[in-house]
Copies of this chain bind each other. A is one copy, B any other.
């Protein structure tokens, strides 16, 4: 369903305080600073002020729920609901329960996310960085290793992803890439490349901590593409490109349905 921006804006209301904001709320999305202290204090206030059946979701991108949801009175209705930047354009939301989150809370949160057009995934239990940032930072860590040890440049990393990996990943995931690369499917891919994958895995440096020179080398390369002063404009550009890509992808999915 496509709506006018003005109709959507008319449903958004700024509140002067928590009590007013939480009145009649069925779902609360906390998006405060990425600090366990800040979130712990805020969740205590949310828990005290919201109706007991309201779901409390946190936007934290890496802090496990148990670190700041343990002391709540109604801890069963709180969970992590990690959106991805820019959250109004990226459909993925990671739902991650704390050890005390009620299964019904996870189920309802996933339902609400699907109702508003998001694409929720549900973790069975806590882990630092959830799924998305673990995958992203595994790739980024090895990228920094390759740059830091001089194997390639920041521009080479960007090309390997935008002109290589992501042309497939934007509509089939990393597992299906393997499934479609072998006549026997994923098991054929995994078996056929087992030795090569194992050798590469042993030399991956996803524990690599880049030094200051390497971080500054990336900063300079990225600033040559987008100067720091132009980042706000580039963020708008990125958002428009993502919106266009999602429209295009939906059209392609309709025009070229997957063979079943």
B124 and A152 form a contact (CB under 8 A): yes
CA distance A121 to B163 in the complex (A): 10
Q: Which 5 A-B pairs have the closest CB atoms?
A: A158-B173, A92-B164, A129-B200, A166-B169, A179-B222
A90 and B174 form a contact (CB under 8 A): no
Chain B residues whose C-beta falls within 8 Å of the C-beta of A162 in the assembled complex: 169-173
Cβ of A185 within 8 Å of any chain B Cβ, yes or no, is yes
Chain B residues whose C-beta falls within 8 Å of the C-beta of A42 in the assembled complex: none
Instruction: Give chain B nearest CB distance to A227 CB in angstroms.
Output: 8
Instruction: Give chain B nearest CB distance to A172 CB in angstroms.
Output: 6
Cβ of A54 within 8 Å of any chain B Cβ, yes or no, is no
Cβ of A102 within 8 Å of any chain B Cβ, yes or no, is no
CA distance A110 to B206 in the complex (A): 29
Cβ of A104 within 8 Å of any chain B Cβ, yes or no, is no
Cβ of A244 within 8 Å of any chain B Cβ, yes or no, is yes
Assembly of this chain: how many copies? 2
**Selected interface stretch from A9-17, A20-28, A141-149:** A141-149
In the complex, how many residues of chain A place their beta carbon closer than 8 angstroms to a beta carbon of chain B?
A: 120
Cβ of A88 within 8 Å of any chain B Cβ, yes or no, is no
Chain B residues whose C-beta falls within 8 Å of the C-beta of A127 in the assembled complex: 146, 151, 203
A186 and B215 form a contact (CB under 8 A): yes
Chain B residues whose C-beta falls within 8 Å of the C-beta of A129 in the assembled complex: 196, 199-200, 203
Instruction: Give chain B nearest CB distance to A128 CB in angstroms.
Output: 5
Cβ of A49 within 8 Å of any chain B Cβ, yes or no, is no
B138 and A141 form a contact (CB under 8 A): yes
Chain B residues whose C-beta falls within 8 Å of the C-beta of A136 in the assembled complex: 165, 174, 177
A-B contact pairs, 28 of them (CB 8 A): A34-B196, A62-B193, A62-B196, A91-B163, A119-B159, A127-B203, A131-B146, A131-B151, A134-B146, A137-B197, A137-B201, A137-B204, A138-B141, A140-B197, A143-B174, A143-B175, A172-B238, A175-B222, A179-B219, A184-B228, A185-B219, A185-B222, A187-B218, A190-B218, A225-B258, A226-B258, A237-B256, A240-B256
